[in-house]
Amino acid sequence: MIALKSLLVALSTISGALAATAEPELAVRQGPSTPTGSGNHEGFYYYFWNDGSGSVNYANEDGGQYSVQWKDSNSFTAGKGYENPGLRNITYSGSYTPGPRDHLTIYGHTQIRNPIVEFYIIEDYKYLLGNVGPKQGSVTTDGGTYDIYTSSYQSGIPEGANLQVYSVRREKRVGGTVNLANHWDAWNSLGLRIEYPRYAIVAVEGWSSSAGSATIKVE
């Protein structure tokens, strides 16, 4: 991970130099995305993926902090949090300047296949995926109310998730504490069988040629 961090620092130095000497719009659009990856960084789990479109620059910063800038990306996920978190509280803070189709979400996968589930606790969004089904219920927790949705979906992730569950916060925010246990209780009380998370990160996801930036710190 030290090698990767050095590489990320080197790349951001290069792109910084390019931005200083070239026409800024072009420099960003032509710049390479930083390498995708996942793993442990200073005691936190990070996950960064993009579909190769546009430019997405992700950097692990100290402890639970990361930053990401994106431009013309059709799809990416970037975030930091915990591996095998159990149903803990996740506290985060930061700054988030999204484009028109991005969202800030607690994101992860469950432990067990059949079905492995991708979960989202969406804190702030500009655009919700079109493929969510009708509202299934709601849960009041973490100082707000979240509406619950599910969708069946064959995702591109290697594990092949085939169900997604969403809690979507009505009172959008950037920063606070999310009590995973309350969301799990609410999801399972609807008859869903959502196993414990394999990892849970505080993530930014972008869609459809979006652009923006974020710096997020997980406690």
The answer to whether residue 61 is catalytic is no
The verdict on 89 binding ligand NAG (CB under 6 A) reads yes
Please check whether residue 169 is in contact with residue 123, taking contact to mean a CB–CB distance below 8 angstroms.
Answer: yes
Shorter beta-carbon distance to ligand NAG: residue 155 or 179: 179
The verdict on 176 binding ligand NAG (CB under 6 A) reads no
Residue nearest to ligand NAG (CB): 89
Candidates 37, 61, 88, 198; binder of ligand NAG (CB under 6 A) is: 88
CA distance 72 to 206: 9
Q: Report how many helices (DSSP H) and strands (DSSP E) the chain contains, helices first.
A: 3, 12
**Residue 19 Cβ, how far from ligand NAG at the closest point, in Å?**
42
The footprint of ligand NAG on this chain (CB under 6 A) covers a number of residues equal to 4
Question: And the tokens for 106?
Answer: 């607690």
The verdict on 215 binding ligand NAG (CB under 6 A) reads no
The answer to whether residue 171 is catalytic is no
**Residue 185 Cβ, how far from ligand NAG at the closest point, in Å?**
12
* Partner residues linked to 215 by β-bridges: 67, 95
Please check whether residue 167 is in contact with residue 141, taking contact to mean a CB–CB distance below 8 angstroms.
Answer: no
Shorter beta-carbon distance to ligand NAG: residue 89 or 140: 89
With a CB cutoff of 8 Å and minimum separation 6, the contacts of 128 are 103, 122, 168
What are the DSSP E strand ranges found in 111-173? 117-125, 137-141, 144-152, 163-169
Shorter beta-carbon distance to ligand NAG: residue 63 or 176: 176
CA distance 121 to 169: 8
The SS3 of residue 12 is: helix
Of 61, 83, 118, 171, which residue is the catalytic one? Answer: 118
The verdict on 179 binding ligand NAG (CB under 6 A) reads yes
Residues classed as catalytic: 118, 205
The residues binding ligand NAG (CB under 6 A) are 88-89, 179, 181
